[in-house]
Amino acid sequence: MSLSETNLFPQKDYKLRKIGSDITRTLRYHILRNIRLFFKGKYTIPNYIYDISSILRLTTWSHILHVVVTTSKDGTGIPTAHTRHHRLQTVFFVLGLANLASHVTTDSIHVYRYSGEVENEWKSTMMWYFLIVGWLIFWGSLILYSREDEVAALMEMNCRVELLALREGAARYVEWKFIIVIGAVYLAIFTLPPGAFLFSWAYPCLPQAVTSVIPQCSQWNYVGGPVPLWMRLTAGLMSGHMWWLQAGTVMTILTLNSYPAGLCKIYFDVVARNLNRAGIEVTIRKYRNLQVLLNLVNDLYSFPVLQFVMAGVMVAEIVSLYMVMSSSAKIPIQATLFFGLLSIEMFLTIHILFHTLRLPYLESEQFRGVMARWTRKRSGWVVKFEKSLAPLAVGMGDGSFFDKGTAFTIWEYCMDKLISLLLA
């Protein structure tokens, strides 16, 4: 064989190798660059608008909040919230409430069955968890239905404030902790509903399946031959839909609460940075933008919505940790994985999302201090206007508000209750 026959296309082969090495080098550069940016606290995502819009679309199309989100077609990615998007919107909302009510009824029956039985204490604890969270989401959805206009307005206004900050010159403000939260939201939405469907399909006699209360389900096992197909299908579809409703409600409420708190830091930073160029007279008026946003947040989360949110998060964290630490040997491995994932989600909620709610108060106080120094030698109306600006804060519904120690107080309370349960 001649030398020319050993490589029929030497030039083409060289070009292919060169292209392959260029692609490999480019991929390696971007991967290492993203890793470095991640550990520096910044990431390559330019802003939060598109991810927030995507999350709201995924969660609201369960129709549990009677608000449906679509993305605007102007290229900004700002969500458009609809209270009357299609004719069946109210029908789907009522069906969602009916599904939640049927699961709450199922949990009530199981609580009654296992209450007082020492050997089935872990079953009773798990059923109490499902019952409490189900009732909180059911009544919370009804309350938010009565405030659907505020919900729709806040969904759009959040992203518009971020777009306003971008126009002011905000850049490279995406933080790793919010990337983790966004990833956790996607994880919950894409894993909990399919996981609940598969789990209830495989075990239609185990809670949370609505079919677990029929007479053939004795001690969470089906008696009387193979499980009928209709029973598996009913249990799987209703459980999967119910967890879509629950995940959609919880993630939407938490997103609408923590997102504006994070925007306060972004907006105040860029406005303070442009103070020399814009002037104090222009800058001081921009404080009202966030004041309107926080007023809308506090109106939406006034009593009892925020109390429901906090109670649900604390109950979920306490019970999930209790089930993993005390009953993992007694419950199926799927249930252990579920409660383990739930405990991680609630940990992130307390230490990142709830901790974020301190930002409006801290950032507004710092910004007001900067404005006070600039307004000392200004005209009288500027001084009076600056003094009329109250600190911004996310209220808790009882006159108090979130500060830098609130999240740790909530976590300490959860740990105290968990220890009491483990020692009981």
Q: What is the pLDDT of residues 235-255, one digit of tens each?
A: 999 999 999 998 888 888 888
Could you tell me the maximum CA-CA distance found in the chain, to the nearest angstrom? 97
pLDDT at residue 343 greater than cutoff 80: yes
Is the pLDDT reported for residue 258 higher than 70?
yes
- Tally of CB atoms within 10 A around 304: 14
Lowest model confidence (mean pLDDT) among 100-104, 214-218, 350-354: 214-218
Which pLDDT score, from 0 to 100, does residue 199 have?
87
Q: Give the CA angle between residues 410, 412, 417 to the nearest 5°.
A: 95
34/285: higher pLDDT: 285
Q: In sequence order, which residues have a C-beta less than 8 Å from that of residue 293 and are 6 or more positions away?
A: 157, 158, 161, 260, 263
Count of Cβ atoms closer than 10 Å to residue 327 Cβ: 17
Q: What is the pLDDT of residue 285?
A: 77
Angle, to 10 degrees, between the axis of helix 229-273 and the axis of helix 359-374?
10
Q: Kindly give the pairing relationship between strand 68-71 and strand 217-218.
A: unpaired
Q: Is the pLDDT of residue 24 over 60?
A: no
With 90 as the cut, is the pLDDT of residue 408 above it? yes
Provide mean pLDDT across the span 342-357. Answer: 90
Helix spans in 9-86 (H): 10-39, 49-60
Angle between helices 229-273 and 49-60 (to 10 degrees): 150
- How does residue 119 score in pLDDT terms, banded at 50, 70 and 90? low
Mean pLDDT of 303-323: 91
How much is the pLDDT for 88?
86
Q: How far apart are CA 355 and CA 360, in angstroms?
A: 11
Report the C-alpha gap between 151 and 69 in whole angstroms: 11
Task: Please determine, for residue 169, whether its predicted confidence score (pLDDT) is greater than 70.
Answer: yes
Q: Which residues contact 179 (CB under 8 A, 6 or more apart)?
A: 38, 43, 45
**Which of 201-210, 347-356, 375-384 bottoms out in mean pLDDT, i.e. has the lowest?**
375-384
pLDDT band at 4 (very low <50, low <70, confident <90, very high): very low
Confidence of residue 229 (pLDDT cuts 50, 70, 90): very high
Q: Is 236 within 8 Å of 201 (Cβ atoms)?
A: yes
**Residue 35 pLDDT > 80, yes or no?**
no
pLDDT exceeds 50 at position 12: no
- Neighbouring residues of 395: CB distance < 8 A, sequence distance ≥ 6: 298, 301, 302, 306, 401
The per-residue pLDDT for 384 is: 73
E strand or H helix that includes residue 292? helix 280-300
Task: Please state, in angstroms and rounded to a whole number, the distance separating the CA atoms of residues 309 and 219.
Answer: 33
Residue 2: the pLDDT is 38
Query: What does pTM read for this prediction?
Result: 0.80
Given a cut of 70, whether residue 219 has pLDDT beyond it is yes
Per DSSP, helices labelled H in 203-279 are 229-273, 275-278
* DSSP bridge partners of 175: 42
| Confidence band for 1, pLDDT divided at 50, 70 and 90 | very low
68-71 and 79-82 beta bridge pairing: antiparallel
